[in-house]
Copies of this chain bind each other. A is one copy, B any other.
Amino acid sequence: MGLTIYDIAKRAGVSASTVSRVINARPGIKKSTREKVERILRESNFSVSEAARGLVNQTSRMIGILVSDIRNQHHTEGAYMIEQHFRKKGYCSLLLNAGDTDEGRAESIKILSSRRVEAAVLIGSVFQSDAVRKAIEDYMPSIPVVFQNGFFDLQNVSSAIADEFSGTADAVRYLHKTGRRHIAYINSNDTPSNRKKVAGYEKAVRELGLGSIICIAEDTAEGSAETTEKLISSHPETDAIIYAVDLLAVGGARRLLDLGKRVPEDVAIIGTDNSPFSTISNPRLSTIDTKLYELSATCSSILEKAIENPSYTEHVVVKPSLVLRETT
């Protein structure tokens, strides 16, 4: 247990330097001694202490992944891609669920700093706050940081952002073009991302001279069903609803059907994210594809470049597109 290179050195009858050299495949070791050391390494199931190694090399070979909650499907793609990608380069991923508060988020950044991660990824617009910005300035002022769906004006942080504003505006315009005149919006939690969606909705609706109706639903299918029912009873003229999240659209569609409305004939529905829910639901959801996969891949590739060249920075905006299925 806990063999060190000194133990290996003793068993092989060489010095620790030599053991270190064969472990790191340094040239200039006699073939026979290299082979002997390798054999002993193998027979002993030796594994180098990355911590000790990191201390001398001034590297940790770790990257930090911050999400608010990994159980949220939306965070999972990015976390997966980053881990897979960097593991191949010998990096390990520290995953932190930062939670819903600024304290949790700032604390998480401190933790990553203590662990001396060589780079970090923030996944989700909820990290867009002054507290997080300050924590980065104070504790991660010089390692590459990539912000998935958010932006900080800091020279070490890159971003890959979904243009939810225009994605939502385009959805409104599409509904208008297909004859809808009473387009409502059902929002979820107040996040920077959702604010962009609502702003896009409001802009398009205003430009088209339509009225604006915005409701807020609890973030569950059932909550959305309730909200949808209230909306329809107070505004029976509603002929289209856009939802900030696919799951809400699923709940809403189901309730409309239960109320005897036809979807999409009476009420068209558009969700957001093109999540698995959108194809599983019945009827299948039309949705604003916010290109989560592309966003994650972009983060991963930015981070890769930034790891090579720590002053590298990039800002990418990904355009959503409308996916039409059975609810429009």
A51 to B49, CA, bound (A): 10
A174 to B192, CA, bound (A): 48
Identical copies of this chain, number? 2
Contacts of A65 in B (CB 8 A): 95
Contacts of A77 in B (CB 8 A): 71
Name the one of B94, B97, B250 contacting A280, with C-beta atoms under 8 angstroms.
B250
A301 to B99, CA, bound (A): 21
Q: Do A80 and B71 touch across chains, with their CB atoms under 8 A apart?
A: yes
Chain A's interface size range is 35 or more
A141 to B65, CA, bound (A): 29
Q: Mark A195-225, 1 if CB is under 8 A from B, else 0.
A: 0000000000000000000000000010000
A50 to B110, CA, bound (A): 12
| A101 is an interface residue with CB less than 8 A from chain B | no
A279 to B223, CA, bound (A): 13
Contacts of A52 in B (CB 8 A): 55
| A35 is an interface residue with CB less than 8 A from chain B | no
Contacts of A281 in B (CB 8 A): 280-282
Ordered by A's residue number, 26 sampled pairs between the chains whose C-beta atoms are within 8 Å are A1-B142, A2-B58, A45-B138, A45-B139, A47-B139, A48-B114, A50-B114, A51-B54, A51-B55, A51-B115, A65-B95, A69-B80, A70-B76, A71-B80, A73-B73, A76-B76, A79-B95, A83-B95, A87-B111, A92-B111, A93-B96, A247-B280, A250-B280, A254-B282, A277-B280, A281-B281
**Known pairs A55-B55, A92-B111. 15 more at Cβ < 8 A?**
A45-B139, A47-B110, A47-B139, A50-B114, A51-B54, A51-B55, A52-B55, A65-B95, A70-B70, A76-B76, A93-B96, A221-B279, A251-B280, A277-B280, A280-B281
